[in-house]
Structure 1
Amino acid sequence: MTTEQTPLHSGFGPHTTAQEALAGRDLRGKIAIVTGGHGGIGLETTRILSNAGATVIVGARDVKKAQDNLSAIRNVEVIHLDLADPRSIDQFAVEFMKSNRALDILINNAGVANPPTIKDARGFDTQFATNHLGHFQLTVRLWDALIKSGNSRVITLSSIAHMVGPIDFGDLNFTKRPYNKDIAYGESKTACSLFAVELDKRGKEHGIRAFAVNPGAILTGLTRHLTDEELAAWGVRRGDNGNFIAPEGFKTIEQGAATSVWCAVSPSLEGKGGVYCEDCDIAAIAPADSTLLSGVRPWAIDQSAAETLWNASEDLLQMAHGAIPVLAK
C-alpha cells in the first residue's frame, strides 16, 4: 500500500524542536547511525537520540573533530566515513556489520553545498556524488543490518532546493550542460527525495521504511562555501561581530533537527513511508510552478523517476541490478 503524500496534521510545526519531536520516547536498546552527526543539525540529532538512550554511530570524515564535538554526549561511537570515497563507505559498512548489530535508524544527514571542487576523482558531480550516491551506497551496504531490526527507518535529508527542477538523467554529471552549482545542488536534493520513494518500495516487505526530510532554512556549516552576496540573496547578513544573522523564517539548529527526529521515532508514521516530510509532518504536494518555499514538487516523488534513479545509481557505482529486489509494487 502506497503512503499518501498528504499531511497528517501531527500537531507539530516549524517551531518544534528536536526535543519536542522526540516526545519523551525511550530509545534504550536502539542502534542509530547518523552521517555527519558531529556538526550542525546532525550534532543535535545525535544528542537527542543519545539522550533518549539510543547508541549512535557517527560517520565523519574528520574523526578527531567528531570525537571532540561529541565528547560530552554518551552512547556515541565514531567511525571514519567519507561519502565521496567508495572505499571509505565500504570500510565503514564492514566495520559496523562486524558488530553483528541490527540497525534501527539510519539518518543520511551529511551533505555538501557549492563545494570548491565540482567533480570528484571519478568525474562525478561532487554534490550529486556526496549527497545522493554516497548515501545510496552506504544504505545498500547496511541492508542486512536494517532487515535485522525488523522495524527500521531510513531518513535522508533533502531540501526545498529540490524545487529547482527534476533530474536531467541524460546529463547527471554536467558533461553536456554548462555547470550551474545551484542546479547541481537542487538535483542532488531531488535525488535524495526520490531515493526515499524507491527505497521504501524495495524495503517495506522487510520492515524498512524510508523518508525524505526538508529540515528547513538553517545557518550551518553547509553555507561555508557561499559568498556574502549569495547569502544576502536569502536575507542573511553579517553582524558587527562578523557572525551571520538569519532573517525571520530561518530555523534554529534545534528546530532544524526536529523533522529528522520525528521521522525516526514518531508512532504516527508506523506502516508508512516513501514520503517527503517537513515541519514534523508529511508535506503537501505543491504545484510544479509554485514559488512557495514549502511543499514537495511532483518530480521529487515521481515513482517512475525514482526507479530510474535507482537503476542509474547502481550503474554509476557498478553494482549489480537487482541486488535489492523490488518486492512490492
Structure 2
Amino acid sequence: MSTQQAPIGSGFGPASTAADVIRGIDLTGKHVVVTGGYSGIGLETVRAFRSAGATVFVPARDIAKAREALGDMPDVILSGMDLLDPASIDRFAEGVLAATDLLHILVNNAGVMALPLSRDARGYESQFSANHLGHFQLTCRLWPALRRANGARVIALSSYGHRRAGIDFHDPNFQVREYDPWVAYGQAKTANALFAVALDSIGKHQGVRAFSVHPGGIATVLIRHMSQAQIDASEVFDREGRPIIDPQNNKKTPEQGAATAVWCATSPRLDGMGGVYCADCDIARALPSDDSTELHGVRPRATDPVAAGRLWQLSEQLTGASID
C-alpha cells in the first residue's frame, strides 16, 4: 500500500530548524551526499548531517567557492560536478562508489530557478536538465550503494513552484513551444516530485525510499535571475532589503528551509513510508485540483503515479541512465 498523502502530526512545524529535527538522531558511520551543499539551505543541510556524525560528500561546480563556504567543516568531502555535464556526474558518482560501499542518504538539493533560456550540450532546456535530469542520472549511478545500505532515503527538492506547470511530455525541452522561465521552473519542480513517486515505487522493494520536499520560500542565490519588480512583488524583502521571516506564511530562514529535507532523511516516523511530498516537516496535504490557489499542500499533477511512470521512461531515454 502506498503512503497516504496526508499529515502525520510530526511534532515539528514551519518554524522548526534543521538543528531541531536532527536532535537525538545518530548518523555515526552513515554516508550522505548533498548536491548544492555549499550555499543556502544545502549548506545548512550539510551542517545538520555532520552534527549528527555523518560523513558528507558534496559535489561542487565551483570547488573554490565550496571550499570557502565549508571552511568550518573541513571533513566534508568535496569533488567536482556539474549537473549539466553528464560526464562529470559519472565521475563524481564513481568517486563516491570508490570511497564507500554504502550510501544512506542522498539529498538532491541543487537547482536553478527562472533563468533565461539556455541549454546543456545535448540541447536539453537547462532548468529541466539541472533540476531533474542531472539528479536522475546521479541517483541511477549511485544506486548500487543506496541499495546496499538497506534503508537508504533519497530526498528530491521540489517546491510549491510545481503549481506553475506540469510536464509537457511532447515538448519538455521547449523545442516547439515558446519559452517561459516560470513555466520551465514549474515543470522542473513537478518533475522533482514525480521523480520521488517513481523512485519510491521502484526502490521500496530494495530498501530505498524516496520523498520530495517543499523547503519554503528562502532568500537565496536562486533569486539572481529575477527582475527587481518580481523580487518586490514576491515580498521576500522588507523596505530595508532584509529578508522577511514569517514561517507560517512560507517565508523562512535557510535553517528553517533545510528542516524538511533533514526530517525526511532521518525521521523514524517515516520508517516504512515513501513516495510523498512533504512541507513544514510533515507530509503535506493533498489538494483537490491542479488549479487550486492555495500555497500550502500538493497538487495532483505532482503525485500522479501514471505521470511519474511516464517521466521515468522519458528520463531514461534522455539520459541513457537506468536502475538495474
- Structure 1 length-normalised TM: 0.94
The CA deviation string for residues 268-306 of structure 1, in whole angstroms up to 9 with x for no partner, is: 000000000000000010122211111000010000000
Conserved 8 A contact 1:239-1:245: no
Conserved 8 A contact 1:103-1:145: yes
Conserved 8 A contact 2:245-2:253: no
Quote the Cα distance in structure 1 between the aligned partners of 2:147 and 2:320: 23
Quote the Cα distance in structure 1 between the aligned partners of 2:56 and 2:102: 12
In the alignment, what sits opposite 1:224? Answer: 224
In the alignment, what sits opposite 2:261? Answer: 260
Give the deviation of 1:205 after TM superposition.
1.1
Please tell me the residue identity of whatever aligns with 2:150: G
Conserved 8 A contact 2:36-2:60: yes
| Aligned residue-pair number | 320
Q: In structure 2, the residue corresponding to 1:59 is in which secondary structure?
A: strand
Quote the Cα distance in structure 1 between the aligned partners of 2:178 and 2:126: 15
Q: Which residue, 296, 301, 307 being the options, matches 1:299?
A: 301
Quote the Cα distance in structure 2 between the aligned partners of 1:116 and 1:76: 33
Give the deviation of 1:203 after TM superposition.
0.6
In the alignment, what sits opposite 2:71? Answer: 71
Distance 1:197 1:47, change over 3 A: same
Q: Which runs of 5+ in 2 are unaligned?
A: none
Quote the Cα distance in structure 2 between the aligned partners of 1:203 and 1:75: 30
In the alignment, what sits opposite 1:148? Answer: 148
In the alignment, what sits opposite 1:285? Answer: 286
Quote the Cα distance in structure 1 between the aligned partners of 2:186 and 2:4: 24
Matched, 1:324 2:323: yes
Quote the Cα distance in structure 2 between the aligned partners of 1:247 and 1:70: 25
In the alignment, what sits opposite 1:270? Answer: 271
Quote the Cα distance in structure 1 between the aligned partners of 2:237 and 2:154: 35
Give the deviation of 1:236 after TM superposition.
3.0
Conserved 8 A contact 1:51-1:74: no
Give the deviation of 1:120 after TM superposition.
2.0
Give the deviation of 1:247 after TM superposition.
6.1
In the alignment, what sits opposite 2:244? Answer: 246
Please tell me the residue identity of whatever aligns with 2:268: P
Please tell me the residue identity of whatever aligns with 1:215: P
In the alignment, what sits opposite 1:209? Answer: 209
In the alignment, what sits opposite 2:184? Answer: 184
Give the deviation of 1:232 after TM superposition.
1.3
Please tell me the residue identity of whatever aligns with 1:269: L
Conserved 8 A contact 1:54-1:75: no
The CA deviation string for residues 31-80 of structure 1, in whole angstroms up to 9 with x for no partner, is: 00000101000000000110110010001101111111111025310011
Quote the Cα distance in structure 2 between the aligned partners of 1:61 and 1:117: 20
Conserved 8 A contact 2:35-2:107: yes
Root-mean-square deviation (CA, aligned residues, Å) is 1.3
Give the deviation of 1:324 after TM superposition.
2.7
Give the deviation of 1:6 after TM superposition.
1.2
- Structure 2 length-normalised TM: 0.96
Matched, 1:19 2:19: yes
Give the deviation of 1:175 after TM superposition.
1.4
In the alignment, what sits opposite 1:93? Answer: 93
Report matched runs for 1:18-57 at 5 Å.
18-57=18-57
Report matched runs for 1:106-185 at 5 Å.
106-185=106-185
Please tell me the residue identity of whatever aligns with 1:56: V
Matched, 1:62 2:62: yes
In the alignment, what sits opposite 1:80? Answer: 80
The CA deviation string for residues 4-45 of structure 1, in whole angstroms up to 9 with x for no partner, is: 111101111100111111132111111000001010000000
Q: In structure 2, the residue corresponding to 1:224 is in which secondary structure?
A: helix
Quote the Cα distance in structure 2 between the aligned partners of 1:20 and 1:54: 17
Quote the Cα distance in structure 1 between the aligned partners of 2:165 and 2:224: 24
**Which is worse superposed, 5-14 or 306-315?**
5-14
Structure 1: which 4+ aligned runs deviate by more than 6 Å?
none
Q: Which runs of 5+ in 1 are unaligned?
A: none
Please tell me the residue identity of whatever aligns with 1:316: L
Quote the Cα distance in structure 2 between the aligned partners of 1:101 and 1:115: 37
